[in-house]
A and B are shown apart, each in its own frame.
Chain A
Amino acid sequence: MTQRGDRAYFFSHKNHFSSISILIAISLFFVLMTPVKAQEHDSAAVQQELETLKQRVAALEKLLKLPRVAAAIANIAEEGNDSHTDTQVLASVASDGSEQQDKREATIGETTLTFGGQLRMDVVVNDPSGSSNFGMSASSIPSSTVQGEDWHTAMTLRDSRLWFKSTTPTKYGDFNTLIETDFWGSSGNETLSNSHNIRLRHAFAEFAGFTIGQTNSTFMHSGTAPDLIIIPVTDVFVRQPLLRYTQEFGDNEWQVALEQPEATFSDSTATQITPDDDRLPDLTGQVTWRPEWGQFSISGVLRHLHIDTGDTALGAVPAGVSDQAFGGGIFASSRIDLQGANNIRLGYIIGNGLGRYIANNSFNAATVDNAGKIHLQNSMAAFAAYQHWWSDNWHSSFAMTHAQVDNDLGILSDTAFKDIQSYHANLRWAPLENATMGFEYGHARSEKENGEKGRLHRFQFSTIYNF
């Protein structure tokens, strides 16, 4: 009864049945048209697809731009330069410029690999000759009380470099790596082969604001250092392993980093000692502004200095003593742009326990007395330089640098260095974008606490070709 009744109901409501069928069909239609795949994919996969599409669009845009750039280049040639030199320049641009750039690049997947380097030859004449042909620190300036060799000439290509970098785009920005080497490793002889070993300069990765690896210390400033061929005695230079975070704001940036610790002390005889007792990394930070008139940078370093001789004496420091102290310093520098590309560069560094962070480690961070107690040393350095462009290809720099330290002569021998200076004048010629040569005269002086003075005249010719 019920079945028959239902059937009766069913057949007696044909119109109603039709309506239900239509509803089911419409529902099915919408269900089938729903983007089922998108629901099935998780958000990461969708994001990845989106990134891939973005990259393809970027590649297509690049391809679209190429004809426009090619047309612009062709247009230059059509503009008809009267001068033969311009025609030569155009020809060299066409053959050397972008093509050379392409030749040293390779792409594997989404990663672009680039290889390059520099060939550099230096000819140095020192008068008198000292402990180092090419280096510049207090100890490499020959003492005036010792009769040295009057003139000594040395040539080297050890500052030639090789680098290899990679760039991989990711959704967080580019993932960059760099390995760079030079030939300042263990030295060969000048007699026969001049074979010098390769040395690591930089090896680091950059990603999402982080820099991990070995590169220039955050305490150093790029862009405000004097443009010199001879290394100045007050150089702020340390390259070491670090973990750094960089945050850019406009053209400016701030950085904070943990860096390799390494304490250098003087014992009471003014001899350098370097205990292997470092416990905490050096903390460094920097802020750089780049206004229209040039650049201003300020950086700081905070260091934990520690010595623990254990069972073995270290220099004049006896066994069984230990001590620790915190030191640090500040470095402020600026490049002030004048008419054209001429500029003045100024820098001032001051601190208590700076040690190896200034003047190529001419002074140590602290003195350790005969009881094993650490006495931090105040030190300062300053530089002033003027760079002048005589023309588009010729330029000169004139610089003076000075560094000094406050030694406590109650605990330290008077054979310790008190101050150093260097003065520089150079002329450089850069006829091509990637080649330059130049000549510089430098005069360096040093003085010890006992009044003993040192002096050095250095002439250096340098030629560089970047490839």
Chain B
Amino acid sequence: MNKLRIIISLLIIAFIAQACSPKKTPNKIELDNTGQANIHAISDQQLRSVMKKLKSLTFSRYDSELERDKQRTRYVRQITDIAHAVESSSESIIAIGQRLELDEGERKIFLSFAAKLTKQASGLKILADSGEEKLIRIKMQNLVNTCNSCHDNFRVMTEGK
């Protein structure tokens, strides 16, 4: 009976912790209801998740350094996959820019955002291939910044039209 109470308590703690978990960390960039940017938001979440696992791995009690190396390799492989997916999705943004009903000035701005995004995505892919974990994280944040800037400028306009 006592054990049952403890199990129930643990489950309650888990649910409360999950419920109280901030959906966005204070410094995390907002990406709600921004259409195409959700692709990058999901990738960002996946990347953050892999990065946390990498961090956990560093402090595992029993694993030897060679075991950690193998786990790191697996996680870096996951990061590479995410980077490749982001690059693929960024290329489609340019096509969207061609389809949107924008005047010349607006289109120029939109395409410059798209070009910047594609460049950042390519950089992310290169960093992922090189295994530079810390830089990947910064690069991903910069990339999401670009997404947000673009959506701040065009989301209402495109939806209004």
Contact = CB atoms under 8 A, between A and B. Distances in A.
A340 B52 contact: yes
Contacts of A350: none
Q: Of A222, A231, A339, which is in contact with the most chain B CB atoms at under 10 Å from its CB?
A: A222
Contacts of B61: 225, 228, 231
Contacts of A215: 64
Contacts of B134: 93, 97, 433
Contacts of A428: 59
A86 B66 CA distance: 32
A342 B56 CA distance: 11
Main secondary structure of the interface of B (DSSP, over half): helix
A239 B63 CA distance: 11
Given A215-B64, A216-B62, A384-B7, A72 B14 contact: no
Contact of B21 (A98, A237, A340, A425): A340
Interface stretch (B84-92, B106-114, B125-133, B152-160): B125-133
Given A65-B129, A340-B49, A75 B119 contact: yes
Nearest to A226: B61
Contacts of B53: 341
Contacts of A81: 142
Interface string A195-237: 0000001101010000000011000101101011001000001
Interface stretch (A24-32, A300-308, A390-398, A409-417): A390-398
A93 B138 CA distance: 10
Contacts of A220: 62
A83 B54 CA distance: 25
A390 B26 CA distance: 11
A216 B64 contact: yes
B65 A389 contact: no
B59 A436 contact: yes
Interface string B64-108: 111100010010000000000000000000000000000000000
A222 B127 contact: no
Contacts of A163: 64-65
Nearest to A215: B64
Contacts of B65: 116, 163, 165, 178, 180
Contacts of B59: 227, 428, 430, 436, 464, 466
Nearest to A248: B70
A146 interface: no
A392 B132 contact: no
B7 A400 contact: yes
Given A75-B119, A176-B66, A180-B64, A400 B56 contact: no
A76 interface: yes
A388 B50 CA distance: 14
A73 interface: yes
Nearest to A68: B126
A60 interface: no
Contacts of B74: 251, 290
B39 interface: no
Interface of A: 65, 68-69, 71-73, 75-76, 79, 81, 83, 85-86, 89-90, 93, 97-98, 116, 163, 165, 176, 178, 180, 201-202, 204, 206, 215-216, 220, 222-223, 225, 227-228, 231, 237, 239, 251, 290, 337-342, 344, 384, 386-392, 395-396, 398, 400, 402, 421, 423, 425, 428, 430, 433-434, 436, 464, 466
Given A86-B141, A216-B63, 6 more contacts: A76-B139, A79-B142, A97-B134, A116-B65, A251-B74, A340-B48
Interface of B: 3, 6-7, 10, 13-14, 17-18, 21-22, 25-27, 45, 48-56, 58-67, 71, 74, 119-120, 123-124, 126-127, 129-130, 132-135, 138-139, 141-142
Going nearest first, the 3 A-B pairs with the smallest beta carbon separation are A341-B52, A72-B123, A386-B14
28 contacts: A69-B132, A71-B123, A85-B27, A93-B135, A98-B132, A165-B65, A165-B66, A180-B64, A206-B66, A216-B67, A222-B67, A227-B56, A338-B18, A339-B18, A341-B48, A341-B49, A341-B50, A384-B7, A388-B17, A391-B26, A392-B48, A392-B51, A392-B52, A395-B56, A400-B6, A400-B7, A433-B133, A466-B58
